[in-house]
Amino acid sequence: MSNQLIARSPDLLQLRNEGYDITIVGGYLLVRDVPYVDSTASVNRGTLVSQLDLSGDKAAKPSTHVAYWIGEHPCHFDGTKIEAFQNASQRQNFGNGIWVDHTFSAKADYRDYYHKMITYIGRITGEAAKLDPTVTAQTYPVIPEENNDQVFKYVDTASSRANISALSERLAGQRIGIVGLGGTGAYVLDFVAKTWVAEIHLFDGDVFSQHNAFRSPGAPSLAQLEEKPHKVIYHAGVYDNMRNGIVIHDAFLNESNVTLLDDLDFVFLCLDQGSEKHLIVDRLFSLATPFIDVGMGLRFTEDQQLIGLVRSVISTPENRDESAKHISYDEGLNGNDEYATNIQIAELNALNAALAVIQWKKYCGVYFDFGGQYYAGYSVTSGEIASEGAV
């Protein structure tokens, strides 16, 4: 992906053609092997780093003048620090093995990444050349064959723009299961598909019907609906545009196939019926697999307004007993649940999914979890979120 992106971007290609050792890692542009003077007035080599803004399949104009540096802070030829672009100096983890040591700020309206990187390199390497006129950042490195075994089909610049790639990395490698692709399950997929998990296994044996279009992310065409695709096939096709690792299981889970859950690291249960849920939950218990169960309970008031609750509960080997009381196996809550008659509201489905994904990310250490929260319930009427946790 890195080589393809460079080939499509004239400014990046110019850097490579002129011999600079450039690569793209996790939404960052790196120029390695840049000569600089350290505090002992000796010539050393470091790496210049910049966030990378993209427009489709090529680099866009840089949105920030800020750059980063891996190595000791560059100095003048006499070992005194270059203060012209000096900024904060603290070690930061950008993910994918990138640890930067310093932040640079040379304000200018950079027209492209060639202009930006050459400007910084000129200021840094110019001092090194005063000590050794032969040094250069134009090393013409050998370009290795690219590894295409990647999660995304284009670079995740959202994480790099916010400098949260190290946090996103905490989800990498996971094999996630989503059981049920109704309204809530479809939104869970939408959120999880944009993370660095390795695989997402979809379980549902139902057809994607017209009513599903009004409670799921995106907007299928009339022609797509007329084809009556199965849910797993339809949703896999949507996210196949963005990422690899979508695995479909075009079936409902039952005694004959529940073992499909055995190799997963985490499971989202998004079932609107409870007939097979006992079987699934018992299997996950036996495997010590953490999972989240979601659900909604809605009913009409006398004035024909909807009230009810959106809930999400995470069950882990550490909190099985506490969380168990919140897992529902009923077809409809309290036997009078409008949700059981398939009244689903897109924004509540999306909220249900968001609560669940936030709980999962807390469990994985992305978000700070103050109280060991295992239950979250949103009241439609009051707008309050009730929470239960270990603290």
Q: Which two tokens stand for residue 16?
A: 């490579």
pLDDT at 391: 65
pLDDT digits (tens, 9 = 90+) for 256-309: 999 999 999 999 999 866 678 999 999 999 999 999 999 888 888 888 898 888
Work out the average pLDDT over 60-69. 96
Q: CB of 136 within 8 A of CB of 46?
A: no
**Residue among 340, 215, 209 at smallest CA distance from 271:** 340
pLDDT at 147: 59
Predicted model pTM: 0.78
Q: Tell me which fold the domain 173-389 belongs to.
A: Rossmann fold (3.40.50)
Cα 180 from Cα 4, distance rounded (Å): 37
**Residue among 337, 24, 368, 357 at smallest CA distance from 185:** 357
pLDDT at 300: 87
pLDDT digits (tens, 9 = 90+) for 327-353: 888 644 444 444 444 467 899 999 999
**Residue among 20, 17, 46 at smallest CA distance from 34:** 46
Cα 222 from Cα 240, distance rounded (Å): 20
* Residue 149 pLDDT class (50, 70, 90 cuts): low
pLDDT digits (tens, 9 = 90+) for 152-180: 887 787 887 788 888 888 999 999 999 99
Beta-strand relationship, 175-179 and 266-269: parallel
* Domain-wise residue ranges, the chain: 2-159, 173-389
Identity of the amino acid at 380: V
Q: E strand or H helix at 44, and its extent?
A: strand 43-51
